[in-house]
Amino acid sequence: MNFLAAAPDLENISLLNASIVAVLGYGMVFAGLIVLMIVVTMLGKAFSAKNKKQNEAPAAPVAAPVVSAPAPVAPVVSDAAPGSAGQLKLYDTPPKTAAMIMAIVADKMGKPLNELRFISIKEVK
């Protein structure tokens, strides 16, 4: 396959033809990846919709008994878990990042996480 078969001489290509090839090539890469982006986006949306449906389906039957017979509030405990050293205060730090930081600190100190007490984590801006 030769896109520029009509071009006079690609071996000793002229500057004009070289610029055309360069622009066309860059455009081709963009076009290819844009189409791929659209396809991947559609694929992602299709899977997100499917997952949403799957998540909604089992939720419905469970929801009904909860409404008719509300569970006692007692089990929702605000106390710390057994062995806990209290609550950790997070300032501008998402819980996932905090978990990662705590794991890194424990690893670096060579101590198990349950032997360390973190009082607060604050993002340094």
Footprint of other proteins (CB under 8 A): 1-4, 10-13, 15, 18-19, 21-26, 28-30, 32-37, 39-41, 43-44, 47-48, 51, 93, 96-97, 123-125
Question: Which C-beta is closer to other proteins: that of 39 or that of 85?
Answer: 39
d(CA 35, CA 79): 53
Q: Which is nearer to other proteins, 39 or 109 (CB)?
A: 39
Q: C-beta of 78: minimal distance to other proteins in Å?
A: 27
In the complex, the smallest distance separating the C-beta of residue 62 from other proteins, rounded to whole angstroms, is 23
Q: Which of 117, 125, 49 is nearest to 80 (CA)?
A: 117
- Considering beta carbons, is residue 38 or 80 the nearer one to other proteins? 38
Using the minimum distance from each CB to other proteins, give the nearer residue, 51 or 87: 51
Inter-residue contact 88 to 98 (CB < 8 Å): yes
3 state SS for 54-69: HHHHHHHHHHHHHHHC
How far apart CA 15 and CA 8 sit, in angstroms, is 12
Q: How far is CA 24 from the centre of its chain?
A: 34
Query: Taking a C-beta distance cutoff of 8 angstroms, is the pair 10, 17 a contact?
Result: yes
Nearest approach, Cβ of residue 4 and other proteins (Å): 6
CB of 65 to other proteins, least distance (A): 29
